Structure 1
């Protein structure tokens, strides 16, 4: 299906086209480019203009460029603009302008990607959904998502993130959501803000982009909820809330965590709700309640949505659970891995440890008689001057009492390692590469292993090492 014609793209961006082409997609990376995509030559770690020739060889429909790159023919299919980033934004604005459906924008210190993925699945059963890939939530991710959006989309789910003040509002105005959702406000990116209130105001700026009579949905439990509500009331036609608070429109009443699921009871106004999610996590139950609030606002079938939630599980690196077989010759010779290695702050770390705490290791299957709950934790980044205190405070979480051993990765995690009782202290290293080399020696059959840390801590290397160890042992036995 045609997404952009040459004339439409030129009109949207004010650029000059060479050739008469049509694009079926938009790409910024030759590694994932599909034939028919419009390749956008952004300047990031490397200049995208250096890859235009390769993109055209891979059958890109055309390339969006600021100049004709060396080695590219003058009559090659191009869209030539003054500034590629600005042109991408203009293409996103044009994509949003032609949309006939409704837009839901999601932000929050924790849970925005998981909630976005819940919305993708739940709304997808009741209409044509277009949602951001991965965590495409920044100055290029949001316009790229909008530029990729088919005009016949029923529901667009746009994730909006930030690292510094002033980033969310422009993206929200570009997305022009009918519904804007804030999952929570927590200490994340504190080094760029004076305090948690500053983060709350930045998150609340998502409401500045709401369409007339748009709906704001916010977390009623956070201490900064009055700030969120104050800003929402200035921009939204209606303000709804969710959480445990008695004042919440969608109110959680109970959450029961099981080995592979979560069962929650809630109340939406006067309507009782019982729903299940196919993964353990109190934070997932809260995110699902926010999703049900969105479903209600959109006038969709809530019963269908709850049925879809029962089969939902998070994307890779966001709390996914898998069993890694260590030895195929003996039954039970495996570990359970909880891969939550994509992002971390104090709130999400507590949520992940809660999941680990309710897990059930298996006894009498490995070298160690009793199965263990093992946490491999990487640095939480961008926490500012209080980072040491916030890392050490993890030792006092109630869930930590159920953890048998904690391995710490990164210089900031030294504070946690020192705060732990000696019997819980595992290995402490500054680099994830060092722990990855010995990861297979840190676990035993029957263990449940949580790996979590900020992306920059690179604890995903430990996840990869554990997966390789499992496969390698399988191959050796075979």
Structure 2
């Protein structure tokens, strides 16, 4: 079934199709184009027009362009518009306008992508769900998500992010959600905002996009909660709250880590709630409560949602856990790896350290005999003038006292490293690639290892290096036995 015909796309974008076409997908990367895609020739580091001919050769059904690119002619399937980004935004607006789906917007300083994926998992058993890929949450990611929205979807989940003031409101107005969820407000992107209050005000602009009578789902117990509430009230939204504060519509009573799961007890107007999230972490429990609240707001059955939260697993780089086997014969020769290398700020690092502190390493299986909790940390970026002080303060967090060894990379993380007791200090290097070379010496069998850092710190390279320590075929041999 076609996602867009040439006639529909031309009408939506006020563009001109050089010949009839029908597309089944949308891509902005010529390397990942699949047959049937509309290739969107955006300008970024490179001009996408330079890759249109290649995209068409790979099977793209058409290309969205502002002129006939080199290597192409008007005989090729092109949709010519005045401006490619504006054309994509118009296509997104048309995709949103024609759908009957209940649309959810998700934003917040921490947990946007994980929460979006939670919603995908719990809504899927109750209808056809369309959700953003990866972290498609910016000025091109949101319109792509909406342009890809099938007409027959029952639910749509759109992630909205920001780095600077003024970014969320236009994307929210484009999305026009029936319900909008703010996961939390925390110290992230502080270099672009003067305070947490400034971040809260920006996050709250997501409510400006709500359809009339829409629902604002917001967290309680935060410094920024009054700002979020006032913004929702200003839009005339129905307000639903979640969090630890008594009086919240969904009150988190307890979150107990049990092995690889978190058992959540909560209370709502309909009575007590007991459910399981299949990954450790109180922050995941809080996000799950927000998921329950917003799913109910768009008409999903909350009882089924609570049951289906167990279907979700964290995406790679966002707290996912895996076992790395170092030996093909002895399955005890292994360590557990938490890959949380996609993003970091003080709030998310605290949450990750609390998860690590609650883990039980295995003794008697490695070189050092004593199983350890090991943290491998990269810089927390975009924290503004207080960035050094925020790194130093993390060294005093109670959860870090339960960590046996800390390896670190980056000039900012050196401040945390040097504030630690000497016995906790592992290795420090100026950059993650330097730490990669030391991977075999950073961990041992029996350890539980957390890798955490901002994407720009490149600690994901350390995750890759640790995975490569595993023996090929061992995962298939031992999976299900651990």
TM-score class, shorter: over 0.9
The residue number in structure 2 matching 1:43 is 43
**How many Å separate the matches in 2 of 1:472 and 1:254?**
40
**How many Å separate the matches in 2 of 1:397 and 1:311?**
32
* 1:306 Cα deviation after fit: 1.4
The residue number in structure 1 matching 2:478 is none
Residue-by-residue CA offset, 1:133-174 (whole Å, 9 max, x unaligned):
000000000000000110111100000000000000000000
Q: Structure 1's 474 and 256: CA in aligned 2 closer, same or farther, altered over 3 A?
A: closer
The residue number in structure 1 matching 2:268 is 268
DSSP 3-state at the match of 2:314: coil
**How many Å separate the matches in 1 of 2:220 and 2:203?**
14
Matches within 5 A, 1:348-359: 348-359=348-359
Is 1:81 the counterpart of 2:81 in the alignment?
A: yes
**How many Å separate the matches in 1 of 2:386 and 2:471?**
40
Is 1:18 the counterpart of 2:18 in the alignment?
A: yes
In the alignment, is the contact (CA less than 8 A) between 1:376 and 1:407 conserved in 2?
A: yes
The residue number in structure 1 matching 2:166 is 166
In the alignment, is the contact (CA less than 8 A) between 1:215 and 1:236 conserved in 2?
A: no
DSSP 3-state at the match of 2:32: coil
The residue number in structure 1 matching 2:179 is 179
DSSP 3-state at the match of 2:471: helix
* 1:214 Cα deviation after fit: 0.2
Q: Structure 1's 22 and 473: CA in aligned 2 closer, same or farther, altered over 3 A?
A: closer
**How many Å separate the matches in 2 of 1:121 and 1:330?**
35
Residue-by-residue CA offset, 1:36-58 (whole Å, 9 max, x unaligned):
01000001121111110110001
Matches within 5 A, 1:171-320: 171-320=171-320
Structure 2, gaps ≥5 residues long: 476-482
The residue number in structure 2 matching 1:52 is 52
Matches within 5 A, 1:66-105: 66-105=66-105
DSSP 3-state at the match of 1:31: helix
* 1:113 Cα deviation after fit: 0.6
**How many Å separate the matches in 2 of 1:310 and 1:81?**
45
**How many Å separate the matches in 2 of 1:331 and 1:77?**
55
* 1:23 Cα deviation after fit: 0.4
In the alignment, is the contact (CA less than 8 A) between 2:93 and 2:146 conserved in 1?
A: yes
DSSP 3-state at the match of 1:396: coil
Structure 1, gaps ≥5 residues long: none
* 1:472 Cα deviation after fit: 6.3
Residue-by-residue CA offset, 1:344-395 (whole Å, 9 max, x unaligned):
0000001111111111111100101110000001100000000011111111
**How many Å separate the matches in 2 of 1:370 and 1:202?**
47
DSSP 3-state at the match of 1:469: coil
- State the TM-score, normalizing by the size of structure 1: 0.98
* 1:473 Cα deviation after fit: 10
Residue-by-residue CA offset, 1:257-307 (whole Å, 9 max, x unaligned):
122000010001251000101100100000000011012212322221111
**How many Å separate the matches in 2 of 1:127 and 1:473?**
38
* 1:203 Cα deviation after fit: 0.1
The residue number in structure 2 matching 1:430 is 430
In the alignment, is the contact (CA less than 8 A) between 1:210 and 1:236 conserved in 2?
A: no
Matches within 5 A, 1:362-441: 362-441=362-441
Residue-by-residue CA offset, 1:396-417 (whole Å, 9 max, x unaligned):
1111111000111111101101
Q: CA RMSD in A?
A: 1.3
Q: Structure 1's 368 and 236: CA in aligned 2 closer, same or farther, altered over 3 A?
A: farther
| More deviation, 466-475/306-315 | 466-475
* 1:474 Cα deviation after fit: 6.2
* 1:30 Cα deviation after fit: 1.7
**How many Å separate the matches in 1 of 2:356 and 2:236?**
39
Is 1:28 the counterpart of 2:36 in the alignment?
A: no
Q: What is the aligned residue count?
A: 476
**How many Å separate the matches in 2 of 1:456 and 1:259?**
31
**How many Å separate the matches in 1 of 2:87 and 2:275?**
44
* 1:237 Cα deviation after fit: 2.9
